[in-house]
Chain A
Amino acid sequence: MSAQTASPATPAGQALRAVLPGGARPPRAGALSATLTFGWRALLKIKHVPEQLIDVIGIPIIFTLMFTYLFGGALAGSTGSYLRFLLPGSLVMAVVLVTTYSGVTLNTDLTKGTFDRFRSLPIWRPAPIVGALLGDVGRYLLASTIVIALGLALGFRPDGGVVGVLAAVALVLAFAFGLSWIWTTLGLVLRAPQAVSNVSLLVMFPLTLASNVFADPRTMPGWLQAFVDVNPISHLVTAARGLMAGTATAGQVGWALLASAALTAIFAPLTMLRYRNL
């Protein structure tokens, strides 16, 4: 068999030769098409490795249930009224923690050599990363849906109605997209997926806990209150709470959108700079 396959005129060799030309060269793929193709790749990976959704599903459920029943009675007198306060914060916390996986998956791709091929393709350069982030937005949407559904089941009745809830979710997703660029930068700088995961959680835990997610900052000591007041997570939570309650101001929403734009403006170029010079 081996002697046969080594000679050029075998049927296998002829089949190869017939298929190699492949017809006319297609036109270069557009930026949007390439990006969406990478988004499709991210969704395929979720389909084939559904285990990676454990965090996306687990974090929102655990946080929402745990904090509702742990603090609900103590902080707001009843779980029902605490939900009104907690649920928007729970949504922010779940989604923001899930964003850290963007850096981990990017780093995994990198260590496996898959990106060498992508980087040698004639495509819009940011497409692999932007596409992966679009896929991640799918995960954020899943985490959001779980939090909201769980909240509704527990008795959450937002005054802002359907529109207010959807607007709040959209705002959180927009912020998460901007935030993800920090993790993609980290994902391209650090050497191992585990390191990316550790560093990003190390940053995100204090940021999410030392915020107004769980408690009113007025109950906190002055120094902590000062931190909570400048913490971007607090601003996002305030805006999401406002949207769900139907009381949001343009300033609150605008601030969150601005933060997302600023994060993208700073960290997307950093990511791409690093990506070009890997």
Chain B
Amino acid sequence: MHSHPPLAIEAAGLVKAFGATRAVDGVDLAVPPGSVYGFLGPNGAGKTTTIRILATLLRPDAGTARVFGHDIVHQAEMVRARVSLTGQFASVDEDLTGTENLVLLARLLGHSRARARRRAGELLEAFDLAEAAGRLVKKYSGGMRRRLDVAASVVVRPDLLFLDEPTTGLDPRSRNQVWEMVRAIVADGTTVLLTTQYLDEADQLADRIAVIDRGRVIAEGTSAQLKASVGAGALHVRLRDPGDLPEAARMLASALEVPVLPGTDPAALTTRMPAAPDVESAGELVGHALAELSRSGIAVTDFTLGQPSLDEVFLALTGRPATADPATDHDTTEEDAA
């Protein structure tokens, strides 16, 4: 079942039910070491429950999983020695200071008192929290809390880091900081399993992505493969002269080989880009098409080539939008149960 070197995560048929709700309903995973693996899905898709199973916090009802070759149920202690968890809701202690939180974890992970202090200091410095080191965490901003949370997960370098929705609710600057942390952590050799609701984030960070819906993996692959399966998103073009619209529409339709729709704006055109074998070629196609417009003297004031949103991915994969149905909000059910 497992070869050498073992996969970071290898799961087969994981199932976890809360009452009548099957939060995780037969999840298979194969995550190679040294990569970032993205779990993409809406609220309640079963992402958090899957992570909690893999981090040995929950026992699966059925199925097996191994982390670096160790069974998560029968060798849980060995799994815990290799993983680290940054939960969706702050897993740092609000009533302690930043320094105290990190010293606490360093001590629990076996550092001596002196080394724990030193480690806390250097982490706070590198995570841009040195000034807030002596302040209680409840006075931290959302971004600072998140940074401390990630720092707490790397007090001792984990082989596998679970990051549950690390940027949900963060402003763009804090989000970029978290992204940079994730990149640094992977560069340091840690495998990262990251859950997110944003295709953009999975695209930026993850080498491979599993799309999760209602407790199942409904699609798996690289970001490019996923986007190819749903189309490369939408192209919006705005013209200086609305009079050019019919001619521009004809030219774009023939260059891109897709139907072109007029927007609500009389000077705008929208097309859904075709499913391309790879994403680069969608950009290339658009480049050529726009150049052609310009050669014909049609002035373009503005254009965007949008990535498909999570909603578009979901619509393409499931035939319905990605909004969570409250009745099947598994992650919430689980929070309540805990």
Q: Chain A interface (Cβ within 8 Å of chain B)?
A: 1-2, 5-6, 8, 10, 12-13, 15-22, 25-29, 33-34, 37, 40-41, 44-45, 48-49, 110-114, 116-123, 127, 191, 277-278
Query: In the docked arrangement, what's the CA distance between A121 and B58, Å?
Result: 14
Decide if B255 is an interface residue (CB 8 Å cutoff).
no
Query: In the docked arrangement, what's the CA distance between A111 and B184, Å?
Result: 31
Chain A residues near B8: list those with CB within 8 A: none
Asked if A116 meets B85 with Cβ closer than 8 Å, knowing A19-B125, A22-B155, the reply is yes
Chain A residues near B81: list those with CB within 8 A: 28, 122
Asked if A45 meets B95 with Cβ closer than 8 Å, knowing A5-B173, A117-B87, the reply is yes
- Identify 15 residue pairs between A and B in the complex whose beta-carbon atoms are under 8 Å apart, listed by A's number: A2-B173, A5-B180, A13-B180, A17-B188, A19-B123, A21-B157, A22-B119, A22-B154, A40-B104, A41-B104, A48-B97, A116-B85, A117-B152, A120-B55, A121-B108
**Option from A8, A22, A120 in Cβ contact (under 8 Å) with B85:** A120
Q: What residue of chain A has the Cβ atom nearest to residue B106's Cβ?
A: A26
Asked if A121 meets B80 with Cβ closer than 8 Å, knowing A48-B96, A110-B338, the reply is yes
Chain B interface category by residue count: 35 or more
- Which of A34, A49, A122: most chain B Cβ within 10 A? A122
B108 and A116 contacting across the interface, CB-CB below 8 Å: no
A34 and B108 contacting across the interface, CB-CB below 8 Å: yes
B96 and A41 contacting across the interface, CB-CB below 8 Å: yes
**Option from A8, A44, A120, A127 in Cβ contact (under 8 Å) with B187:** A8
> In angstroms, how far is the closest chain A Cβ from the Cβ of B313?
23
Q: What 1/0 flags go to B176-219 for Cβ under 8 Å of A?
A: 11011101110110100000000000000000000000000000
Q: Chain B interface (Cβ within 8 Å of chain A)?
A: 52, 55-59, 77, 80-81, 83-85, 87-97, 100, 104-105, 107-112, 115, 119, 122-123, 125-128, 136, 152, 154-157, 172-173, 176-177, 179-181, 183-185, 187-188, 190, 336, 338
> In angstroms, how far is the closest chain B Cβ from the Cβ of A139?
15
**Option from A8, A48, A117 in Cβ contact (under 8 Å) with B91:** A117
B80 and A29 contacting across the interface, CB-CB below 8 Å: no
> In angstroms, how far is the closest chain B Cβ from the Cβ of A35?
10
> In angstroms, how far is the closest chain A Cβ from the Cβ of B74?
14
Query: In the docked arrangement, what's the CA distance between A28 and B80, Å?
Result: 11
Query: In the docked arrangement, what's the CA distance between A20 and B84, Å?
Result: 14
A20 and B188 contacting across the interface, CB-CB below 8 Å: yes
B176 and A33 contacting across the interface, CB-CB below 8 Å: no
A120 and B83 contacting across the interface, CB-CB below 8 Å: yes
Asked if A123 meets B108 with Cβ closer than 8 Å, knowing A16-B181, A20-B154, the reply is yes
Query: In the docked arrangement, what's the CA distance between A36 and B215, Å?
Result: 40
Query: In the docked arrangement, what's the CA distance between A127 and B136, Å?
Result: 24
> In angstroms, how far is the closest chain A Cβ from the Cβ of B102?
11
Chain B residues near A8: list those with CB within 8 A: 180, 183-184, 187
